Amino acid sequence: MEESEDSDEYYSKINNSEIPDDIKEKLLAENAKLAKMPFGTPEATVIRNYIETCLELPWGKKSKDSMNIVKAKKVLDKDHDGIEKVKERILEFIAVKQLRPDLKGQILCFVGPPGVGKTSIAKSIATATGKEFARISLGGIRDEAEIRGHRRTYIGAMPGRIINALKLAGTSNPVILFDELDKLTKDAHGDPTSAMLEVLDVEQNNAFRDNFIEIPVDLSECLFIATANTTETIPAPLLDRLEVINMDSYSDKEKLAIAKNHLIPKQLKLHGLKSSQCKITDAAVKELITSYTRENGVRNLEREIASVCRKSARRIVEGAAKINVTVPMLCEMLGPKKFLPDSIYDSDEVGIVNGLAWTYLGGDMLRIECSSMKGTGKLELTGHLGDVMKESALAAMSYIRKNCEALGVEEDFFTKRDIHIHVPEGAIPKDGPSAGITIATAMLSELTGRTVRRDVCMTGEITLTGRVLPIGGLKEKSMAAYKCGAKRVIIPSENAADITKFDSEVKEAIEFIPVKHISEVFDIALNK
C-alpha cells in the first residue's frame, strides 16, 4: 500500500515539475516499476532515492547573473587586497559575459602556496557575479565513484559530488569550486582525475553522465574554479583543460593592508572587542609580519593577531579601559621573536656570496661559502644539497678550469687544491636551478683572493659556456634581498620583465642588474 501511495505522490511531482520531457518519461517508467514492487524490497529504496534525487536537481533553474563590472570590482576590492592579476582576469570574464551572455567554457585554476586566498577569491567571484556557490573538497579522494557516482546495482548507491553540488546550489549555473585539485589520489577503485576530465571539458560537460543518475546533465552553464598548491601532481591531460592563474605570495606591504583592512577587524569582532577598546599600531603589525611569522600567505599572521586579541580581552576584563598594542607590548604579549631577520655582513669577504632562494615560506637569502686548501683537486659539497645544486657546482668548476687564464686563476689549481663549497643551515634540504652564478662567484673569489661586494645579492643558473639561465620566484627573492639590506641584485636578463610586478618600495631601494653571461656577474660582484 505504501509503495502505491509513494508512486502516486511521485507521479504528480514528476508531471508538475519543469523537467525536460524525455527525462520525465524515464522517471515515470521508474515510478511505474516502483508501484509494482512488493512493500519493503531493497530495490524499492534505491528507486525511491533515485526519483527524489532527480526531482531535486535544478532542471532549468538559473540564478540571474549580475554582470555589473563596477559592482564586481567593488566587491573584489573590498574582499581582497593585492592579487591584482587575479582580479583583472575575473573582471575580464565579467566584461566578456556582459557582451556575450551565452559564453561557456570558463575553467580557471588558481595555483599558489597555502594561505594566499585561493578559496576565498572563489567565494568573492560568486558574490560579484550573483551566482550560487558550491565547494567540493577533493583532498584525499581516491575513488572514481566520488566524482561520477555509484551504479544503482547495489543498496546504498549515491550520486557523485558534482550532482550533490548542483542540488546544494539549487541552480544550474552556480560557481563550483574544486578545492585542492592537486591532492587527488588513485587506487584500485579507479582514478578520480580521469573522471574529472569530462567534468572540466567544455566540449563534453553539456551532457555529463553520473553513474547513479544515468541521465545527461548539462554542466556547461556552471563556472568551474579549481585551486591547487602546485601543478606538478595534476596530470597533463587535466591541466590542459584549465586556465592556470598563479597567485604569488604576498609582499609585506600587501600583508599590512590585509591585516589592517580584514584580519584585525575580523578578529576583534570574534573576540568581542571594539576598535575603540583595542588598537594594534602599524609598527606592531609590521613586527608581527617580520619577526613572528614567515609565510607566503596570511594564515599564521591571523593566528598571531588572534593571540594578541585574546590577551587584550583578558586585560580589559581585568580592568584595563583601553589597550594600545605597540612593539614593546607585542613582545611582552607574544614573547621573544620567532624569526630574526637575516642581514648582510659588515665587510666584504673572500669566498662568501649572498645568493637568493625561493622556499615554501617565501624568499630567503642563501649565503654560499667557498674555501680552498692544499690537496689533490677534490671538490667537497656540504649543506644538504640536491642533485641540481651539485651539478651547478660542477658546471661552475668546469667553466673556471676552461677559462682560468682569462680569470686570473692558476692553470693547474685543480690538481694542487681541494675546494670545499658549503651552504649553511645544513639540516635544511636545498635544491633548485638558481644557485649556479652564486657558486661560480664564490669559487672564483676564493681562487683569486678577490673580495665579494657584501651589498650584492644574485640568482641565476650557469651553463658550461657561462650563459646565465632564467629562474623562478623572483618576486619572493627580491623581497628577501630588500629585507637583508642589499643594494644591488644580479638577475638573468630573461627575468628582467618580472621587475614590473615588484612592489614600488623594493624597486626604489634595489638596483636590479640583468646579465647574460657569468663574466658580467664577476665584474659586478668582485672587487678588483
3-state secondary structure labels for all residues of 147-199: HHCCCCCCCCCCCCHHHHHHHHHCCCCCEEEEECHHHCCCECCECHHHHHHHH
Q: How far is CA 162 from CA 148, 172, 244, 397, in A?
A: 8, 11, 21, 56
Residues 47 and 105 both lie in one domain: no
What is the per-residue pLDDT across 200-240, written as a single tens digit (0 to 9) for each?
A: 877 777 788 888 888 888 888 888 888 888 888 888 888 88
- What are the grid coordinates assigned to 492, written together? 638573468
Residues 241 and 260 both lie in one domain: no
The label of the residue with cell 560537460 reads: 205
CB distance 139 to 183 below 8 Å? yes
Question: Within the chain, how many helices (H) and strands (E) appear?
Answer: 22, 20
| pLDDT of residue 63 exceeding 50 | yes
Instruction: Among 122-136, 147-161, 339-353, name the most confident range.
Output: 122-136
Question: Is position 240 within any domain?
Answer: yes
Residues 34 and 178 both lie in one domain: no
Q: What is the largest CA-CA distance in the chain?
A: 101
Mean pLDDT of 116-124: 83
Which of 218, 246, 274 terminates a domain? The answer is: 246
Residues 422 and 292 both lie in one domain: no
- 339 or 459: whose pLDDT is higher? 459
Among the options 291, 477, 478, 483, which is catalytic?
477
Residues 6 or more apart in contact with residue 249 via CB below 8 angstroms: 112, 113, 116, 295, 296, 297, 362, 475, 476
Q: Is 131 a known active-site residue?
A: no
Residues 197 and 274 both lie in one domain: no
64 pLDDT band (50/70/90 cuts)?
A: confident
Q: Exposed/middle/buried for 204, CB within 10 Å: 0-12, 13-18, 19+?
A: middle
Centre a 10 Å sphere on the Cβ of residue 260 and count the other Cβ atoms it contains.
14
Domain of residue 419: give its range.
Answer: 349-525
Among the options 291, 312, 434, 445, which is catalytic?
434
Tell me the β-bridge partners of 225.
Answer: 108, 177
Question: Is position 67 within any domain?
Answer: no
| pLDDT of residue 185 exceeding 50 | yes
Residues 366 and 513 both lie in one domain: yes
Q: Is 477 a known active-site residue?
A: yes
Closest CA to 481 of 515, 462, 458: 458
- 512 or 2: whose pLDDT is higher? 512
Q: Which amino acid is at 169?
A: A
Question: Is position 343 within any domain?
Answer: no
CB distance 254 to 116 below 8 Å? no
Question: Is position 103 within any domain?
Answer: yes
Which of 221, 246, 271 terminates a domain? The answer is: 246
Degrees to nearest 5, angle at CA 440 with 434 and 441? 100
Residues 126 and 204 both lie in one domain: yes
Closest CA to 106 of 41, 169, 174: 174
Residues 203 and 315 both lie in one domain: no
What is the per-residue pLDDT across 400-421, written as a single tens digit (0 to 9) for each?
A: 888 888 888 887 787 888 888 8
Residues 401 and 256 both lie in one domain: no
CATH assignment at residue 267: 1.10.8.60
Residues 207 and 149 both lie in one domain: yes
Question: Is position 340 within any domain?
Answer: no
**Region for 383 from its dihedrals, namely left if φ exceeds 0, alpha if ψ lies in -120 to 50, beta otherwise:** left
Q: Which amino acid is at 286?
A: K
Centre a 10 Å sphere on the Cβ of residue 363 and count the other Cβ atoms it contains.
25
- What are the grid coordinates assigned to 437, written together? 652564478
Tell me the β-bridge partners of 382.
Answer: 422
Question: Is position 70 within any domain?
Answer: no
Q: How far is CA 368 from CA 13, 54, 79, 348, 490, in A?
A: 74, 64, 42, 14, 15
Report the domain count for the chain.
4
The CA distance from 11 to 49, in Å, is: 14
Mean pLDDT of 36-57: 78
- 185 or 311: whose pLDDT is higher? 311
DSSP state of 39: T
CB distance 437 to 460 below 8 Å? yes
The CA distance from 243 to 106, in Å, is: 8
137 φ, ψ (degrees, to nearest 5): -90, 120
Residues 298 and 224 both lie in one domain: no
Degrees to nearest 5, angle at CA 76 with 71 and 78? 95
pLDDT of residue 206: 77
- 3 state SS of 425: coil
Question: Is position 341 within any domain?
Answer: no
Choice among 110-124, 188-202, 211-225, 258-272 with the minimum mean pLDDT: 188-202
Closest CA to 400 of 526, 511, 258: 526
Dihedral angle computed from the Cα positions of residues 452, 454, 459 and 464, in that order, rounded to the nearest 10 degrees: 0
Question: Is position 64 within any domain?
Answer: no
Residues 6 or more apart in contact with residue 88 via CB below 8 angstroms: none
| pLDDT of residue 361 exceeding 70 | no
The CA distance from 227 to 120, in Å, is: 11
pTM: 0.77
Residues 184 and 258 both lie in one domain: no
Which of 299, 334, 369 terminates a domain? The answer is: 334
CATH assignment at residue 189: 3.40.50.300
pLDDT of residue 1: 43
pLDDT of residue 431: 67
